[in-house]
Homo-oligomer: A and B are copies of this chain.
Amino acid sequence: MYFCIVKLEQAIQSNKFKNEMHKASLNILYTAWWLKTQMSKVLKEFGLTHEQYNVMRILKGKYPEQMCVKDISCRMIEKSSNVPRIIDRLVLKKLVKRADSPTDKRETVITLTQAGIAVLAASTESVNQLMEQMVQIETQEAQELNRLLERMRGTEV
């Protein structure tokens, strides 16, 4: 049982921020890293990486429908992920299966296997448990966080 580093200043050993906005950017990057690291620890017990888990969750969202690679890609959190190769590894572990599309010969269609569904269910339970004990902010605070993040991204570029 330990306390994680709360303050960004401690985490990156710096307090030289240009302004609150700059600090917020670094805070978001650090928090994302922290979230991924915590989750990866749990997923590792199931032999999964964060990205493999993400692909499986996306497939679950449409199950038992099949999904083509493009449809998975556009739902990924990190858009530049190389989905074909993530699928390669899931196929090797027999957690998903890949087949040629009947309607479009360019496409391949992917589905979870029964093993995949089982592993996903078990790992999701562990991840949810972790999240509940790790992150204890109120619903209202989470809402405000969502509002601010979307406001942050919502600017003309």
Q: Contact residues of A with B, CB < 8 Å?
A: 1-8, 12-14, 16, 18-38, 58, 61, 74-80, 128, 131, 133-137, 139, 141-146, 148-157
Contacts and interface: CB of A to CB of B under 8 A. Distances in A.
B29 A35 contact: yes
Contact of A21 (B16, B34, B139, B150): B139
Contact of A24 (B77, B133, B145): B145
A156 B20 CA distance: 26
A71 to B, nearest CB: 8
Contact of A146 (B23, B80, B149): B23
Interchain residue pairs A-B with the least CB separation, the first 6: A32-B32, A20-B142, A6-B154, A24-B142, A13-B75, A145-B148
Contacts of A20: 139, 142-143, 146
Given A13-B74, A25-B35, A136-B155, 5 more contacts: A2-B156, A7-B150, A24-B149, A28-B28, A28-B145
A76 B6 CA distance: 16
A155 B4 contact: yes
A117 B3 CA distance: 37
Given A20-B142, A21-B135, A75-B12, A31 B80 contact: no
Contacts of A38: 157
Contact of A153 (B4, B146, B150, B153): B4
